[in-house]
Amino acid sequence: MQRQKRLYCIILLCSSFTVGLYAQSSVMQPNTNKIERNTAVTTQLNTTASTTNNIQLKVVRANDSLYAIRIVNSTASPIPISLQDWHLFLIQEAKNKQGEWKPIEYWEYSTCGNSYLTETLKPNGFLETRSIAYSGNYETEIRFKWLHNHQVYYTNPIKGAVHTSQFLIPEDLLNQRLFARVYRLGGTELLNKVLFLEPDGMKEFETKQKAFVANIAERNQQKKE
């Protein structure tokens, strides 16, 4: 038992250290929000059902290094929530010096089919995830962008601080196999759609990928003939 407690403390310490490193980062990072498995997505709010008939996305500061992002189902129907390894499809944006909202994070899609799951959020229910609060020398406004069912939702803006270099896409991103393939098939435009959770970005990539494979198969068949 004592050994298990020590191991648990080590895991917590390592997790906190990792969060701290990401928070101090001066380059664009993938979003690493995480919903704890023991947090039931069917939790009910202590209020009567809302009549706004929509999905609400809210962000508050949880502590110096984390934001808490809450999804509230204000509709009268259950909502299926898509997750990837217990992560929401979520990235962080910030206002640049021109006052434009720009991404400071990107999304890394898993290539493992077992990574994808769906949980049901009941009417008037909510779920909460935590995401890194960066600390930089450029004070600005922060918001989160969530892709759900081919539609984008945004949180309320909140004060934060980042490095302006976080607005730049990392040069080594194309070293990753998936992103290199996306770029090869659709260039920068498609890559940005996939990286920054634009609706149907992955669908467009998959369509191009199928066409590419079909074209190769057709050419191989013609060679045989």
Question: Please, is 66 exposed, middle or buried when counting C-beta atoms within 10 Å of its C-beta (0-12, 13-18, 19+)?
Answer: middle
Same-domain check for residues 46 and 113: yes
Same-domain check for residues 86 and 197: no
Q: What is the reported pLDDT for 8?
A: 40
Q: Is residue 203 domain-resident?
A: yes
Q: How confident is the model over 79-131, as pLDDT tens digits?
A: 999 999 999 999 999 999 999 999 999 999 998 989 999 999 999 999 999 99
**Confidence class for position 39, pLDDT limits 50, 70, 90:** low
Q: Is residue 204 domain-resident?
A: yes
Same-domain check for residues 119 and 185: no
Same-domain check for residues 143 and 185: no
User: Can you give the residue range of the structural domain that contains 177?
Assistant: 169-214
Same-domain check for residues 46 and 111: yes
**Confidence class for position 183, pLDDT limits 50, 70, 90:** very high
Q: How confident is the model over 203-212, as pLDDT tens digits?
A: 999 999 999 9
Q: Is residue 7 domain-resident?
A: yes
SS3 sequence of the chain: CHHHHHHHHHHHHHHHHHHHHHHCCCCCEECCCECCCCCCCCCECCCCCCCCCCEEEEEEEEECCEEEEEEEECCCCCEEEEEECCECCEEEEEECCCCCEEECEECCCCCCHHHEEEEEECCCEEEEEEEECCCCCEEEEEEEEEEECCEEEECCCEEEEECHHHHCCCHHHHHCHHHHHHHHHHHHHHHHHHHCCCCCHHHHHHHHHHHHHHHHHHHHHHHHC
Of the listed ranges 12-16, 22-26, 126-130, the one predicted with least confidence: 12-16
**β-bridge mates for residue 121, sequence order:** 79
- Give the residue from 136, 128, 141, 102 showing the smallest Cα distance to 22: 136
Same-domain check for residues 8 and 76: yes
**Confidence class for position 13, pLDDT limits 50, 70, 90:** very low
